[in-house]
Chain A
Amino acid sequence: AQSVAQPEDQVNVAEGNPLTVKCTYSVSGNPYLFWYVQYPNRGLQFLLKYITGDNLVKGSYGFEAEFNKSQTSFHLKKPSALVSDSALYFCAVRDATSGAGSYQLTFGKGTKLSVIP
Protein backbone atom coordinates (compact mmCIF):
# COMPACT_ATOMS: atom_id res chain seq x y z
CA ALA A 1 0.00 0.00 0.00
CA GLN A 2 1.12 3.54 -0.64
CA SER A 3 0.37 6.63 1.42
CA VAL A 4 1.22 10.30 1.65
CA ALA A 5 1.21 12.61 4.66
CA GLN A 6 1.13 16.39 4.57
CA PRO A 7 1.57 17.21 8.26
CA GLU A 8 0.54 20.87 8.02
CA ASP A 9 -3.03 21.86 7.19
CA GLN A 10 -1.92 25.45 6.70
CA VAL A 11 1.34 27.29 6.16
CA ASN A 12 1.64 31.06 6.49
CA VAL A 13 4.63 32.90 5.08
CA ALA A 14 5.46 36.54 4.45
CA GLU A 15 5.86 37.71 0.88
CA GLY A 16 9.50 37.53 -0.19
CA ASN A 17 10.41 34.90 2.40
CA PRO A 18 11.30 31.32 1.49
CA LEU A 19 8.50 28.78 1.74
CA THR A 20 8.44 25.05 2.47
CA VAL A 21 5.45 22.72 2.23
CA LYS A 22 6.16 19.33 3.76
CA CYS A 23 5.37 15.88 2.40
CA THR A 24 6.34 12.40 3.57
CA TYR A 25 5.43 9.18 1.82
CA SER A 26 5.30 5.42 2.23
CA VAL A 27 5.59 2.89 -0.60
CA SER A 28 6.76 -0.70 -0.85
CA GLY A 29 9.21 -0.05 -3.67
CA ASN A 30 10.69 3.08 -5.19
CA PRO A 31 8.46 6.15 -5.31
CA TYR A 32 7.28 8.36 -8.10
CA LEU A 33 6.46 11.69 -6.42
CA PHE A 34 4.44 14.68 -7.59
CA TRP A 35 3.34 18.13 -6.48
CA TYR A 36 0.16 19.85 -7.63
CA VAL A 37 -1.37 23.26 -6.92
CA GLN A 38 -5.07 24.09 -6.82
CA TYR A 39 -6.59 27.56 -6.92
CA PRO A 40 -10.17 28.04 -5.65
CA ASN A 41 -12.81 26.28 -7.77
CA ARG A 42 -10.20 25.11 -10.28
CA GLY A 43 -8.67 21.80 -11.21
CA LEU A 44 -5.26 20.68 -9.98
CA GLN A 45 -2.23 21.96 -11.89
CA PHE A 46 0.89 19.83 -12.16
CA LEU A 47 4.00 21.52 -10.71
CA LEU A 48 6.80 18.97 -10.74
CA LYS A 49 7.71 15.31 -10.37
CA TYR A 50 10.50 13.07 -9.17
CA ILE A 51 10.93 9.84 -11.09
CA THR A 52 14.64 9.12 -10.86
CA GLY A 53 17.99 10.91 -10.94
CA ASP A 54 18.84 14.22 -9.29
CA ASN A 55 17.25 14.57 -5.88
CA LEU A 56 16.52 18.26 -6.46
CA VAL A 57 13.72 18.70 -8.95
CA LYS A 58 12.80 22.04 -10.49
CA GLY A 59 9.30 22.78 -11.68
CA SER A 60 6.89 25.47 -12.76
CA TYR A 61 6.61 29.00 -11.31
CA GLY A 62 9.98 28.82 -9.52
CA PHE A 63 9.07 25.86 -7.32
CA GLU A 64 11.45 23.04 -6.55
CA ALA A 65 11.34 19.92 -4.41
CA GLU A 66 13.96 17.78 -2.76
CA PHE A 67 13.66 14.02 -2.66
CA ASN A 68 15.15 12.52 0.51
CA LYS A 69 15.05 8.74 0.44
CA SER A 70 16.31 8.20 3.99
CA GLN A 71 13.66 10.50 5.43
CA THR A 72 11.01 9.42 2.88
CA SER A 73 10.27 13.07 2.23
CA PHE A 74 9.60 15.25 -0.78
CA HIS A 75 9.24 18.82 0.49
CA LEU A 76 8.17 21.61 -1.85
CA LYS A 77 10.21 24.81 -1.70
CA LYS A 78 10.45 28.26 -3.23
CA PRO A 79 13.17 30.80 -2.43
CA SER A 80 10.89 33.86 -2.42
CA ALA A 81 7.13 33.59 -1.95
CA LEU A 82 4.63 35.64 -3.91
CA VAL A 83 1.10 36.57 -2.84
CA SER A 84 -0.07 34.79 -6.00
CA ASP A 85 1.40 31.53 -4.64
CA SER A 86 -1.45 31.41 -2.11
CA ALA A 87 -3.33 28.21 -2.93
CA LEU A 88 -3.87 24.59 -1.91
CA TYR A 89 -0.91 22.28 -2.52
CA PHE A 90 -1.11 18.52 -2.91
CA CYS A 91 1.65 15.94 -2.76
CA ALA A 92 1.06 12.60 -4.52
CA VAL A 93 2.88 9.27 -4.76
CA ARG A 94 2.85 6.16 -6.88
CA ASP A 95 4.82 3.01 -6.22
CA ALA A 96 7.21 2.52 -9.16
CA THR A 97 7.05 -1.24 -8.77
CA SER A 98 3.27 -1.48 -8.98
CA GLY A 99 2.14 -3.64 -11.86
CA ALA A 100 0.58 -2.71 -15.17
CA GLY A 101 -2.84 -1.22 -14.62
CA SER A 102 -1.91 0.30 -11.28
CA TYR A 103 -1.94 3.86 -12.48
CA GLN A 104 -3.41 5.40 -9.39
CA LEU A 105 -1.78 8.24 -7.57
CA THR A 106 -2.32 8.54 -3.84
CA PHE A 107 -2.80 12.16 -2.81
CA GLY A 108 -2.15 13.84 0.50
CA LYS A 109 -4.92 15.85 2.15
CA GLY A 110 -3.47 19.14 0.96
CA THR A 111 -1.76 22.10 2.60
CA LYS A 112 -3.21 25.58 2.33
CA LEU A 113 -0.47 28.11 1.70
CA SER A 114 -1.15 31.73 2.57
CA VAL A 115 1.42 34.33 1.53
CA ILE A 116 0.98 37.51 3.54
CA PRO A 117 1.77 40.83 1.83
Chain B
Amino acid sequence: GENVEQHPSTLSVQEGDSAVIKCTYSDSASNYFPWYKQELGKRPQLIIDIRSNVGEKKDQRIAVTLNKTAKHFSLHITETQPEDSAVYFCAASRPNSGYALNFGKGTSLLVTP
Protein backbone atom coordinates (compact mmCIF):
# COMPACT_ATOMS: atom_id res chain seq x y z
CA GLY B 1 0.00 0.00 0.00
CA GLU B 2 0.89 3.68 -0.12
CA ASN B 3 3.56 4.86 2.29
CA VAL B 4 3.82 8.58 3.04
CA GLU B 5 6.92 9.81 4.87
CA GLN B 6 7.00 13.29 6.39
CA HIS B 7 9.92 15.38 7.64
CA PRO B 8 10.77 16.94 9.97
CA SER B 9 8.70 15.63 12.86
CA THR B 10 9.17 18.90 14.74
CA LEU B 11 10.00 22.36 13.50
CA SER B 12 10.55 25.54 15.46
CA VAL B 13 10.79 28.92 13.72
CA GLN B 14 10.66 32.54 14.76
CA GLU B 15 7.70 34.65 13.83
CA GLY B 16 8.14 36.05 10.35
CA ASP B 17 10.44 33.27 9.16
CA SER B 18 9.45 30.67 6.57
CA ALA B 19 8.69 27.04 7.32
CA VAL B 20 9.04 24.11 4.94
CA ILE B 21 7.67 20.61 5.49
CA LYS B 22 8.51 17.79 3.08
CA CYS B 23 6.74 14.55 2.22
CA THR B 24 7.55 11.62 -0.01
CA TYR B 25 5.16 8.98 -1.26
CA SER B 26 5.72 5.50 -2.59
CA ASP B 27 2.80 4.89 -4.96
CA SER B 28 3.47 6.51 -8.33
CA ALA B 29 -0.24 6.24 -9.14
CA SER B 30 -1.15 8.71 -6.37
CA ASN B 31 -2.64 11.86 -7.85
CA TYR B 32 -4.08 13.92 -5.00
CA PHE B 33 -2.00 15.50 -2.23
CA PRO B 34 -3.70 17.52 0.52
CA TRP B 35 -2.27 19.15 3.62
CA TYR B 36 -4.24 19.23 6.86
CA LYS B 37 -3.65 21.38 9.94
CA GLN B 38 -4.58 20.08 13.37
CA GLU B 39 -4.47 22.42 16.32
CA LEU B 40 -4.14 20.92 19.76
CA GLY B 41 -7.30 19.07 20.73
CA LYS B 42 -9.09 19.99 17.54
CA ARG B 43 -10.08 18.27 14.33
CA PRO B 44 -7.84 18.20 11.22
CA GLN B 45 -8.74 20.84 8.64
CA LEU B 46 -7.71 21.09 5.01
CA ILE B 47 -5.46 24.05 4.31
CA ILE B 48 -4.35 23.41 0.75
CA ASP B 49 -4.23 20.59 -1.78
CA ILE B 50 -2.63 19.87 -5.12
CA ARG B 51 -3.39 17.44 -7.90
CA SER B 52 -0.83 15.67 -10.02
CA ASN B 53 -1.53 17.75 -13.12
CA VAL B 54 0.04 20.88 -11.57
CA GLY B 55 3.44 21.54 -10.03
CA GLU B 56 2.66 24.35 -7.63
CA LYS B 57 -0.29 26.01 -5.94
CA LYS B 58 -0.42 29.08 -3.72
CA ASP B 59 -2.96 30.49 -1.32
CA GLN B 60 -1.80 33.68 0.38
CA ARG B 61 1.08 32.68 2.72
CA ILE B 62 0.81 28.98 1.95
CA ALA B 63 2.14 27.15 -1.07
CA VAL B 64 2.55 23.53 -2.06
CA THR B 65 4.95 22.15 -4.66
CA LEU B 66 4.84 18.71 -6.25
CA ASN B 67 7.62 16.79 -7.98
CA LYS B 68 5.99 13.74 -9.54
CA THR B 69 9.26 12.33 -10.85
CA ALA B 70 10.85 12.31 -7.43
CA LYS B 71 7.54 11.51 -5.73
CA HIS B 72 7.76 14.29 -3.22
CA PHE B 73 5.74 17.33 -2.29
CA SER B 74 6.33 20.18 0.12
CA LEU B 75 4.39 22.73 2.13
CA HIS B 76 5.79 26.24 2.35
CA ILE B 77 4.52 28.76 4.88
CA THR B 78 5.90 32.29 4.60
CA GLU B 79 5.78 35.08 7.17
CA THR B 80 4.85 32.65 9.90
CA GLN B 81 2.65 33.79 12.76
CA PRO B 82 2.11 32.26 16.23
CA GLU B 83 -1.34 31.06 15.14
CA ASP B 84 0.38 28.86 12.54
CA SER B 85 1.57 26.69 15.43
CA ALA B 86 -0.07 23.29 14.99
CA VAL B 87 0.55 19.79 13.67
CA TYR B 88 0.58 19.60 9.89
CA PHE B 89 -0.17 16.36 8.04
CA CYS B 90 0.49 15.60 4.42
CA ALA B 91 -1.50 12.90 2.66
CA ALA B 92 -1.79 11.14 -0.67
CA SER B 93 -4.48 9.19 -2.44
CA ARG B 94 -4.83 7.16 -5.63
CA PRO B 95 -7.36 7.58 -8.38
CA ASN B 96 -10.60 5.67 -7.85
CA SER B 97 -9.89 5.29 -4.14
CA GLY B 98 -12.71 7.55 -3.09
CA TYR B 99 -10.12 9.96 -1.69
CA ALA B 100 -9.14 7.46 0.98
CA LEU B 101 -6.16 9.39 2.27
CA ASN B 102 -2.87 7.94 3.47
CA PHE B 103 -1.44 10.39 5.96
CA GLY B 104 2.11 11.10 7.03
CA LYS B 105 3.01 11.08 10.71
CA GLY B 106 2.78 14.82 11.05
CA THR B 107 5.05 17.78 11.73
CA SER B 108 4.64 19.77 14.91
CA LEU B 109 5.30 23.40 14.01
CA LEU B 110 6.02 25.94 16.73
CA VAL B 111 6.20 29.61 15.82
CA THR B 112 7.74 31.67 18.58
CA PRO B 113 7.10 35.43 18.85
Whether both chains belong to one complex is answered with no
A residues at B contact (CB < 8 Å): none
